[in-house]
Structure 1
Amino acid sequence: MENKINIMIVDDHAVVRLGLASLLEKNDAYNVCCDAETSAETFNKIATSAPDLILLDYKLPDGDGVTMCYQIKKKYPAIKIIIVSAFCDDYIIKEALQAGADGYLMKTIDRKMILSSIERVLSGEKSFDPSLIHNLVNPSQDKELHTELTLQEIEIISRIAQGFTNKEIGKEMFIAEKTVRNYISRIFEKIGVNNRTEAALYWIDRNK
């Protein structure tokens, strides 16, 4: 067990917890160390189970995932958190990012994509449900943004918001990884941000 990633599942529906646990336990790299139904139970079990990553439901009987995320990150900053939600409101996603969430997935997401998102988050990237980001990201809605960023830069920042790595962006756009890094540096300078999380927040905010 010592080489496995400990994952905690927080959801007030037993069926969801069982489904996620079944999926994760098929992967030899992961160990479902515990689960919880409420915010209070979550904090009690974090202290004893030491999860590396938490799959956290947005809506809990005694609180919400964004507030929980903020509280967990404040006390246990090393724990990765992916919020799993039935809500796709852009302001919730923005609040989740500000609270320190490492990812945001819809409960309808494909099982393979859940595993892919977990891998991205564990590698230090942000990961968001692609269908959710496509709903939020629509360059045609923001004419001012077109005057600031080239079409190529818009494609790149939209993929940053989806949690793509530089390598994945390069593969998707058929350009070298070094070229992607150069584009990202220019994007950061143009929009006045210092990192990928700030860029994702900027993009989501501008495309409400």
Structure 2
Amino acid sequence: MNLLFISKKGLLADMFRYRIAETDSQLCVVHTAHEIETCLADFSVDIAIVYGEQSDSVAFIKQLRASDPQLPLLVLADRATYEYFKVCRDYGVNGLLSTNTNFQQLMEKAARILQGESIYDTYLLEEESTHLARVHFSRMERKVIDYIVADYPNKKIAQEMAIHEGTVRNYISNIYSKIGLHRRKEAKQLLKKWMEKDKEDSRTKR
């Protein structure tokens, strides 16, 4: 596994370099967004790992995606605000893990991401869940959400609800605005989680 480690935290990078030296993996370490493009040009990278303050990490994520939109990307974070989650989902981050993840777990999850999995740490998802709990959807929006989660295309949603397809698009636009996501794949994942939480809350209130 060839890894690109991106962080301004030199000590952590040195520790990571030391651990990688004990494996068969290869490592390229960079400390600035400018160095990312150079490393990608000179080094065959399988997966990138980002760690730092949220503002630094956001800059790294954006630069990395500008250089390589498809490269598997894993982010380490002490905590994650909803806005940070939004950036991660908008830029196709494949994994968001707590910095408490040990080296062996990190490498195992990196391998799973390379197999196509998306891994978001449940501890870090708390802020996202809190945000979702505050979102209110209308009765019609809830119906549309059911169909989105069930993978119905807009045309079929319109047929099932006996409304115009343009009206469906308006509902979807409103839903996406409320959750802060605008790509269907990421929105579907978040809406599925909201549905599960909403059903659980309904059962609890009975």
Name the TM-score, length of structure 2 as normaliser: 0.61
Q: How far did residue 186 of structure 1 move?
A: 6.3
Determine the structure 2 residue equivalent to 1:33: 27
Aligned counterpart in structure 2 of residue 15 of structure 1, from 11, 25, 28: 11
Are positions 1:99 and 2:91 aligned together?
yes
- Deviations along 1:2-53, one digit per CA (max 9) or x if unpaired, are xxx211111122331233334445554xx23311112122222221112111
SS where residue 125 of structure 2 aligns?
helix
By how many angstroms is 1:100 displaced? 2.1
Distance 2:12 2:194 in 1: 31
- Structure 2: distance between partners of 1:7 and 1:132: 23
Give the secondary structure class of the aligned counterpart of 1:137.
helix
What is the rounded CA distance, in whole Å, between the counterparts of 2:20 and 2:84 in structure 1? Answer: 26
* Equivalent of 1:109 in 77, 80, 101: 101
Sort the Cα spacing of 1:21 and 1:195 in 2 relative to 1 into closer, same or farther, 3 A: farther
Which structure has the larger Rg over C-alpha atoms? 2
2:161 alignment partner in structure 1: none
The aligned amino acid for 2:125 is I
1:53 aligns with 2:47: yes
Q: Distance in 2 between matches of 1:132 and 1:188?
A: 31
| Aligned CA distance change for structure 1 residues 107 and 140 (closer, same or farther; 3 Å) | closer
**Letter of the aligned partner of 2:36 in structure 1?**
T
Aligned-pair identity (%): 13
Per the alignment, residue 2 of structure 2 pairs with 6
Residue 66 (structure 1) aligned with residue 58 (structure 2): yes
Question: Any conservation in 2 of the 1:69–1:99 contact (CA below 8 Å)?
Answer: yes
- State the number of aligned residues: 169
Distance in 1 (alpha carbons) for counterparts of 2:97 and 2:73: 11
Quick one: which amino acid aligns to residue 99 of structure 1?
A: Y
Which residues of structure 2 form unaligned runs of 5+? 144-148, 158-170, 173-181, 198-206
Match of 1:128 in 2: 120
Aligned position for 1:199: 188
Cross-structure match for 1:141? 133
* Matches of 2:53 and 2:132, distance apart in 1: 32
How big is the shift at 1:142?
A: 5.3
* Structure 1: tracts of 5 or more residues without a match: 150-183
1:141-184: CA deviations, max 9, x gaps? Answer: 35857x849xxxxxxxxxxxxxxxxxxxxxxxxxxxxxxxxxx6
Decide whether aligned partners of structure 1 residues 110 and 199 sit closer, same or farther in structure 2, where only a CA change above 3 A counts: farther
